[in-house]
Amino acid sequence: MNIRFGTDGWRAVIAEDFTFDNVRLCAQGTAAYLKRAGLAPRGLVVGYDTRFGSDRFAATVAGVVAANGVPVFLCARPAPTPVVSYNLVTLDAGGGVVITASHNPAEWNGYKFKGESGGSAPQESIDELERLIAEAAEDPAGVQEMSLPEAEARGILQYIDPEPTYLGHVASLVDLQSIRDAGLSVVVDSMFGAGAGYFDKLLSGGSTRVTEINGEFNPAFPGLSQPEPLAHNLSRLLALVPSTGADVGLATDGDADRLGVVDENGRFLTTLETFALLCLYHLEILHRRGPIVRSITMTSMIDKLGERYGVPVFDTPVGFKHLGPVMIRESALLAGEESGGYAIQGNVPERDGTLSGLLILDMMVQTGKSLPQLLEMLTDIVGPHYYDRWDVEFDAEETSEVHARLRAASVSALAGMQVDSIDTRDGYRFGLEGGYWGLVRFSGTEPLLRIYAEADSPETVQDLLEELRDIAGV
């Protein structure tokens, strides 16, 4: 098969395309990439999540890379992707691989490649990696592999516990003691994923109480359509927060690089609201200044905050392989995308659900405000913003026809609002008067057409979604 990396890594259905043989090809290509880039002597960190077979796929990667003479640091337990990424940086490794399909359904797994910064590798690196994987596929007999005991005996493989290093790092970025002493009641939904236990370990020892649900490892993700921290997957959390009188609910996805937030009333905050709050926290509460990076699917509230506080805002196509390099180049304060992934200066230039959740808690503690009060504060500054996204399944054979309909559409207005601009860098984004927008794009990780809209009322949002779906003809 032709292995292609999407928005964040290569993902496929286990035993169908995500097989040990194909993972070996990816590992052989990764070893070749590190050698050609002069990064091989620094080694490769290999991590994995709690999905079915992830530990064995990770062991396969380690065996192939070690057989190619590249030192390997193999995680001794499942770990969140941002934890693996941070260990990559502290070890000064040349790169990293995480076996995870992040938020995809249980039958999927994936192969994420991280650059030496700890963030998602930029597109030019991914292009080279894909080429080298294809070369390996042309000569599968040339794929080398070594048993892990032999690699360990030769000193080319070392097992690491990635958790302690990360916990110490996070403690340097957030005033954990203030949160511990604040007496908050926090409900955490780890969605059966690799982030289980992290909030409890970071916040125990004070009057704040952390209650964790779905904290056991279960690769079937029972009761969830997929381990993605969106409202339709969080029914238990949405009910438990208000019923127990908790102050906030926090959810992390399968590899804990995304965050979902629930307020005291059981209302799910949109990912756009959450990132806008994180930006407001840095600009208004911490009085920090610096650029902000957002994907084209992220809220225009960020642009309005940028104008208010005099900081530049950069936008990119979807995926941290685009956001991360701009974040590094501009020394940005934050970067965020609509999927619920937020990166913070001082950490690796990559999404981190645990750190983002801690910062939301710190904002509540420092202001003494509840989440509804913080959202009211945000609205007072940027005005009303409502948002929704439709994920529409469609026949992949119709992709070119959908593209053709969108390209040919002559759109001067949507939902009664003038179209000010059309951006085709990643799908078809229609900029509307007042800073609002609508977007149609193909998912980079699943066979879905995603339709997005942000407007000044829920009704207008639904009108935008309907009109955009009609234009796409799906």
The Cα 353–Cα 229 span in angstroms is 10
> 307 and 201, same structural domain?
yes
How far is residue 331 from each of residues 167, 314, 362, measured CA to CA in Å?
Answer: 24, 12, 23
> 293 and 213, same structural domain?
yes
Residue 339 lies in a domain: yes
CB of 318 closer than 8 Å to CB of 340: no
> 366 and 403, same structural domain?
no
CATH code for the domain of 226: 3.40.120.10
Among 95-99, 138-142, 311-315, which stretch is predicted with the lowest mean pLDDT?
Answer: 138-142
Residue 81 lies in a domain: yes
Indicate the pLDDT class of residue 453, thresholds 50, 70 and 90: very high
Burial 379-394 (b: 16+ CB within 10 A, else e): eeebeebbbebbeeeb
How far is residue 160 from each of residues 76, 83, 151, 373, measured CA to CA in Å?
Answer: 6, 12, 14, 43
Q: What is the CB-side half-sphere exposure of residue 23 using CA atoms within 13 A? A: 31
Tell me what the pLDDT averaged over the chain comes to: 95
CB of 352 closer than 8 Å to CB of 82: yes
> 288 and 146, same structural domain?
no
Q: What is the pLDDT of residues 152-168, one digit of tens each?
A: 999 999 999 999 999 99
How far is residue 11 from each of residues 19, 26, 106, 248, measured CA to CA in Å?
Answer: 11, 12, 12, 32
Q: What is the pTM of this model?
A: 0.94
The Cα 145–Cα 156 span in angstroms is 13
Residue 377 lies in a domain: yes
Among 131-135, 201-205, 393-397, which stretch is predicted with the lowest mean pLDDT?
Answer: 393-397
The token pair that represents 74 in the structure block: 């193999």
Domain ends where: 351, 382, 413? Answer: 382
> 47 and 107, same structural domain?
yes
Nearest to 33 by CA among 169, 142, 126, 170: 126
Coil vs helix vs strand at 302: helix
Domain ends where: 349, 382, 415? Answer: 382
Q: What are phi and psi of 192, to 5 degrees?
A: 65, 20
The H-assigned helical ranges of 288-447 are: 301-309, 320-330, 353-367, 371-382, 399-408
> 151 and 68, same structural domain?
yes
> 284 and 394, same structural domain?
no
End-to-end CA distance of the chain: 28
**If 0-12 CB within 10 Å is exposed, 13-18 middle and 19+ buried, where does residue 369 land?**
middle
User: How many domains does the chain divide into?
Assistant: 3
**pLDDT score at 442:** 86
**pLDDT score at 445:** 66
Residue 253 lies in a domain: yes
> 137 and 69, same structural domain?
yes
Domain ends where: 362, 382, 402? Answer: 382
Residue 83 lies in a domain: yes
> 199 and 51, same structural domain?
no
> 411 and 329, same structural domain?
no
Residue 3 lies in a domain: no
Q: What is the pLDDT of residues 387-426, one digit of tens each?
A: 999 999 887 777 888 888 888 888 899 999 999 999 999 9
CATH code for the domain of 392: 3.30.310.50
> 323 and 181, same structural domain?
yes
The Cα 216–Cα 151 span in angstroms is 31
The Cα 367–Cα 374 span in angstroms is 9
Residue 167 lies in a domain: no
Coil vs helix vs strand at 94: coil
Residue 4 lies in a domain: no
CB of 317 closer than 8 Å to CB of 335: no
**pLDDT score at 119:** 93
> 83 and 56, same structural domain?
yes
The residues, ordered by sequence, that sit 6+ positions from 31 with a Cβ below 8 Å of its Cβ are 40, 44, 64, 65, 68, 69, 70
Domain that holds residue 323: 174-382
